[in-house]
Amino acid sequence: MNFQPRPDEVRFLLQTVLGATPRLRALAPFAEFDGELQAQVLDEAGKFVAEVIAPINRSGDEEGCRFADGEVLTPPGFRAAYQALSEGGWLALSAAPEDGGQGLPAVLEAVLFEWLSAANHGLTMAPGLLHGAYECLRHHGSEELKQRYLSKIASGEWLATMCLTEAHAGSDLGQVRTRAVPQGDGSHRVSGGKIFISGGEHDLTENIVHLVLCRLPDAPAGPKGLSLVLVPKRLPDGTRNAVHCERIEEKMGLHGSPTCVMRFDEATGWLIGEPNRGLAAMFVMMNAARLHVALQGIGLLDAAWQKAAAYAQERRQMRAPGPAPASRGSEAADLIAEHPAIRRILDTQRAWVDGARLVAYRTALQLDIARHDGDAKARERAQRWCALVTPVLKAACTQQAFHGASECLQVFGGHGYVREWGIEQVLRDARVTMIYEGTNEIQAIDLLVRKVLPDGGAGMSALLLELRDELDAARDIEADVQRRLAQLRYLGTTVVMAAAADAALPYEVADDYLRVVMLAMLAWAWARIERAAPGEPRWSQPVAAFRRWVLPEFEMRLGIVKRACEAVTLTRPAA
Amino acid sequence: MNFQPRPDEVRFLLQTVLGATPRLRALAPFAEFDGELQAQVLDEAGKFVAEVIAPINRSGDEEGCRFADGEVLTPPGFRAAYQALSEGGWLALSAAPEDGGQGLPAVLEAVLFEWLSAANHGLTMAPGLLHGAYECLRHHGSEELKQRYLSKIASGEWLATMCLTEAHAGSDLGQVRTRAVPQGDGSHRVSGGKIFISGGEHDLTENIVHLVLCRLPDAPAGPKGLSLVLVPKRLPDGTRNAVHCERIEEKMGLHGSPTCVMRFDEATGWLIGEPNRGLAAMFVMMNAARLHVALQGIGLLDAAWQKAAAYAQERRQMRAPGPAPASRGSEAADLIAEHPAIRRILDTQRAWVDGARLVAYRTALQLDIARHDGDAKARERAQRWCALVTPVLKAACTQQAFHGASECLQVFGGHGYVREWGIEQVLRDARVTMIYEGTNEIQAIDLLVRKVLPDGGAGMSALLLELRDELDAARDIEADVQRRLAQLRYLGTTVVMAAAADAALPYEVADDYLRVVMLAMLAWAWARIERAAPGEPRWSQPVAAFRRWVLPEFEMRLGIVKRACEAVTLTRPAA
């Protein structure tokens, strides 16, 4: 089965649980935004995704992209679907009206991209970095560059890439060697090789705008000597620029998206932002891009869950233990959905999808607040949320996409391993999300070493207090979550102390710390959902699975981090 | 890099830690078996695997099997490699000398198959069920059948299949519909369709011997009406039998092994064993076959580890935290092996490979004891070990193969997702081991519901006491393991009580119970290894990772099972 968006469930999370509508209306650009408009956009988006995007997912994987003579052919149907996506205005959903956008909240765009990824991860890669490129250019581009490229990128009429990685420079961008030499006329000549460039070449749009991380002559070594240069495939006069795709990678999955090896041979480009401030210009879009990867993870897990849930309601094998289920009838075997092992898989993955969604949508809402709130303190709080929660979501949701999709595959037995059922594609596609936009190990280090420790844990502590205050201590379940949030605050102090004694320690426990934060946030999310829909089986079944099988990892990880810290603080003197 | 067997490490585990040599020499058929012979066999096997089998693993995945007009072509090189495997006597390693075998212990065959799977899972599938078919025929075949097929199967001159699954009958074999009609001359006519038949058709051997689960006329419904019939591809007079491959499956991986849809159209066959006792005849080989799947898991994880460890010793990215590592020199970036996140992945997976190996080799040794010990009680104890430990190993090692290989892929960053590095093949190949020979969910139910509960936990308790008695309470680490084994015995009693109150409960906690048993056995294994090689970094690094990051799951799973049992026993009256 193809992925089917559920706008009703998203509306429940956004409106009923998060109260998004009044919060958005308090922001100047969205003063007119109401529940009805939101419902309309979500319903239309859901229909579009189901009818245009989802049906070409399997064929996109089977056919894949083809490379010949420097040209890349995307799978049959991709070009038409992409054009419908762009021409329908879907890519400009949250772009500013002055750039031809619809000026809708980022949170709606987040939902759309979650669904697009769930329906067709390969195709969705094409516009995946578009919004980031738009923001980057909008904030750092010269007037001339904006004039020439901004509205084309906002609408998706031209696609964009981020050219960062080189063969020897992956996580370590400081080692980038691609050179940009100023020509005196304001342009630069860019030379070098880049790898892992998603959509570096394709037949979806007439022009492709590359944002290339490179080094000016005499730039300082390391990450502080990097500049960002815009290099279009076609120059303003229509001629072909000296940027070429040398080959596309054969990958484990994501065959609908060409991963290109790119060659720049004195290609013409223009600087975006200040010289040697390329990383800063790029980081504008980092949080939004990483949140989108987290949403890919959530979407892919939901797609896997939908397939498995449907199969479990058709396939019969053996008698289920315990009292006869209503679905038994005269059949010799019960639906596998009635077997505890299958029920557990389905409810547990559902708990991940719903809980992670609530955290992700709230994060997208914070992006809107960070951009548009009139109150500087509110903007700062929202930025803090995005900085701290985004790496957590990116790592945890992509890990769960892969591992949870594998659980869903297990529901199919041997059929799950066979391509025709489509579930194995989800695993293969999802695997890359644990790597790109910063590997999950880098996310954990980003969270703990770069964001929690530098202010002695104060920012994270404030965020945890914010969450605590949204819960009601009079309700047992919410009080339990409050207790966990308090443990997490205390854990922050413990790690800060230990890090002072051993600089390597935080790197060793970063993964566990990130997991424990995610589990606490899921517990917070489910407490909020449960309060909004008490006793409804649609939500009470997953939350029961969450408490039984997911949440116990909280204590386990907490213990791992604590013991590691104690070992350090008890045995080594503070530095 | 191709997989490279390490006979020295296997010898350390087998001889030094497990004391296998004197134990084997106490068995009549192995009275002459000494450490030197063992070393010779392992060294030769290691060379053969590295030189003949491993080099065609990647090309086997890329080329895959081809199907045309009912024929299956295996990938280039597979036929020659298979013939070398068969003609070198490797497949008959543990077969009886009177059947042309070498009469060596099963534990050596286990090591060989672990290496073969690590080196080339696809090719190793071909002889994967050979030994099971040999045992089945040897114990249940008529003299005539044995005369005709036993030595050909023992040597691998002819390959064998197990034809169990049908489209509607996977885990639920009771629903098998294939019919076998007696012909009065001792033969049967077999008709029906089978799916997921590994090696149902191929070009590796001249003949293929199918063991087909089917139903005689008027057989009772369900699993007690199943019979086992031998159906050869070529009849004794050389003509083609009416068994055909209709197509091969397109799969996620394991492209070197054809997964066939088979059609039997009144094919000629002969009954193996008694009518309606087909499952019993098949179960003879179940423990050995499941142990081999566990060994596939261990081998594949080791193959992934070897690739990741080698890459981590070449690739440099960023500075590692803490004091400068010796490998730094004048390089601008450190080896990724020096980064804590990578170190953790490598040490943790190494801990799984080594610990699981020790448990698996001990289990293979128990197969030898169960077969050959002169003392009935010793045979019974060994059988109990195999019955209880095999499902634990099958589920836990295959799960770890997939998830651990995914961790190893992470070491490569983006390169891991690209096919040319070969690591993603390990994930795709390994995924099926969680499904075949009984899904991992079925293994957990087999362990808890079919094996632990029926005798009130007595058998498992006796096994845990056996493990406890091998440990030295005077050593802190070993006393800790003894404490865990005691917790596990107590947990058995708890589950027995709860199961009396709620028949569905054991099915709900079966997975957790299996995990907690595996973790206790790993803790036992590492205590034994550590005592044999105190302070050697080769072993002390993985065991440190094991205690820090793997073992905490023991408490978590224990808690999950206990809480579930308490909820039942506190709220519901005993039945």
Q: What is the pLDDT of residues A62-82, one digit of tens each?
A: 999 999 999 999 999 999 999
List of chain A residues whose C-beta atoms are within 8 Å of the C-beta of residue B416: 435
Q: In Å, how far is A532's CA from the nearest CA of chain B?
A: 26
Q: In Å, how far is B304's CA from the nearest CA of chain A?
A: 15
pLDDT over 60 at A31, yes or no = yes
Query: What DSSP assignment string belongs to A34-74?
Result: -HHHHHHHHHHHHHHIIIIIGGGHHHHHHH--EEETTEEEP
Surface-to-core class of residue B246, CB atoms within 10 Å of its CB (0-12 exposed, 13-18 middle, 19+ buried): middle
Question: How does pLDDT run along chain B (575 residues), one tens digit per residue?
Answer: 899 999 999 999 999 999 999 999 999 999 999 989 999 999 999 999 999 999 999 999 999 999 999 999 999 999 999 999 999 999 999 999 999 999 999 999 999 999 999 999 999 999 999 999 999 999 999 999 999 999 999 999 999 999 999 999 888 999 999 999 999 999 999 999 999 999 999 999 999 999 999 999 999 999 999 999 999 999 999 999 999 999 999 999 999 999 999 999 999 999 999 999 999 888 877 778 999 999 999 999 999 999 999 999 999 999 999 899 999 988 889 999 999 999 999 999 999 999 999 999 999 999 999 999 999 999 999 999 999 999 999 999 999 999 999 999 999 999 999 999 999 999 999 999 999 999 999 999 999 999 999 999 999 999 999 999 999 999 999 999 999 999 999 999 999 999 999 999 999 999 999 999 999 999 999 999 999 999 999 999 999 999 999 999 999 999 999 999 999 887 765 44
pLDDT over 80 at A370, yes or no = yes
Nearest to A190 by CA among A260, A278, A71, A69: A278
Nearest to B120 by CA among B62, B170, B207, B185: B62
List of chain B residues whose C-beta atoms are within 8 Å of the C-beta of residue A563: 548
Query: What DSSP assignment string belongs to A188-246?
Result: EEEEEEEEEEETSS-SSSS-EEEEEEEB-TTPPSSGGG-EEEEEESB-TTSPBPSEEEE
Domains, chain A, in order of start with CATH, read 135-283 (2.40.110.20), 439-575 (no CATH)
Cβ neighbours, 10 Å, residue B147: 10
Among A405-419, A484-498, B162-176, B474-488, name the one with the lowest average pLDDT: B162-176
Token pair listed for B145? 């059948």
List of chain A residues whose C-beta atoms are within 8 Å of the C-beta of residue B507: 321, 339-341
- Select the residue of A341, A409, A439 nearest B413 (Cβ to Cβ): A439
List of chain A residues whose C-beta atoms are within 8 Å of the C-beta of residue B439: 410, 413
Phi-psi region of B272 (alpha: psi -120 to 50; beta: other; left: phi over 0): beta
> In the Cβ-directed half-sphere of A26, how many Cα atoms lie within 13 Å?
14
| Average pLDDT score, chain A | 96
- Select the residue of A344, A417, A560 nearest B431 (Cβ to Cβ): A417
Give the separation between CA A400 and CA A414, rounded to whole angstroms.
22
Q: In Å, how far is B233's CA from the nearest CA of chain A?
A: 25
Size of chain A, expressed as the number of residues it contains? 575
Give the separation between CA B53 and CA B4, rounded to whole angstroms.
10
CB contact under 8 A, B510 and A559: no
Contact B276/B231 with Cβ under 8 angstroms? no
Name B506's bridge partners.
Answer: none
CB contact under 8 A, B418 and A250: yes
- In this structure, which amino acid lies at residue A462? A
How far, in Å, are A176, A279, A280, A282 from residue A227 at the CA level?
A: 10, 7, 9, 10
Q: Which of B407, B437, B478, B530 is catalytic?
A: B437
Site from A346, A431, A453 to mutate, B interface, most B CB atoms within 10 angstroms = A431
Contact A111/A45 with Cβ under 8 angstroms? yes
What is residue A476's predicted lDDT score, i.e. its pLDDT? Answer: 95
Contact A125/A250 with Cβ under 8 angstroms? no
Q: What kind and span of H or E run contains A424?
A: helix A423-431
List of chain B residues whose C-beta atoms are within 8 Å of the C-beta of residue A175: 317, 332-333
Residue of B nearest to A413 (CA): B435
CB contact under 8 A, B170 and A344: no
Residue of A nearest to B413 (CA): A435
CB pairs under 8 A between A and B: 175
Q: pTM of whole model > 0.95?
A: yes
CB contact under 8 A, A441 and B341: yes
Q: Are strands B188-198 and B243-248 parallel, antiparallel or unpaired?
A: unpaired
- Select the residue of A175, A410, A436 nearest B441 (Cβ to Cβ): A410
CB contact under 8 A, A172 and B318: yes
- In this structure, which amino acid lies at residue B280? A
CB contact under 8 A, B441 and A564: no
CB contact under 8 A, B332 and A170: no
Q: For B29-65, write each residue's pLDDT tens digit.
A: 999 999 899 999 999 999 999 999 999 999 999 999 9
CB contact under 8 A, B175 and A333: yes
How far, in Å, are A51, A277, B197 from residue B432 at the CA level?
A: 33, 48, 13
Q: In Å, how far is B424's CA from the nearest CA of chain A?
A: 6
List of chain B residues whose C-beta atoms are within 8 Å of the C-beta of residue A427: 252, 431
A437 is catalytic: yes
CB contact under 8 A, A413 and B172: no
Cβ neighbours, 10 Å, residue A363: 27
Contact B244/B262 with Cβ under 8 angstroms? yes
Residue listed under structure tokens 């802190």? B476
- Select the residue of A406, A414, A417 nearest B165 (Cβ to Cβ): A414
What is residue B575's predicted lDDT score, i.e. its pLDDT? Answer: 46
The values of phi and psi at residue B247, to 5°, are -170, 170
- Select the residue of A340, A415, A552 nearest B560 (Cβ to Cβ): A552
What's the DSSP call for residue B220? P
Phi-psi region of B206 (alpha: psi -120 to 50; beta: other; left: phi over 0): alpha
Cβ neighbours, 10 Å, residue A574: 10
Q: In Å, how far is A76's CA from the nearest CA of chain B?
A: 21
ipTM of this predicted structure? 0.97
Q: Dihedral of the CA atoms B316, B318, B321, B322 (nearest 10)? A: 60
- In this structure, which amino acid lies at residue A376? A
- Select the residue of A317, A435, A510 nearest B413 (Cβ to Cβ): A435
- Neighbouring residues of B202: CB distance < 8 A, sequence distance ≥ 6: B65, B72, B74, B126, B159, B208, B258
Surface-to-core class of residue A329, CB atoms within 10 Å of its CB (0-12 exposed, 13-18 middle, 19+ buried): exposed
Q: Dihedral of the CA atoms A161, A164, A167, A173 (nearest 10)? A: -170
Contact B254/B429 with Cβ under 8 angstroms? yes
Q: Which of A114, A201, A437, A530 is catalytic?
A: A437
Nearest to B410 by CA among A273, A63, A432, A22: A432
- Neighbouring residues of B545: CB distance < 8 A, sequence distance ≥ 6: B344, B347, B348, B350, B351
- Select the residue of B417, B507, B559 nearest A552 (Cβ to Cβ): B559
CB contact under 8 A, B427 and A252: yes
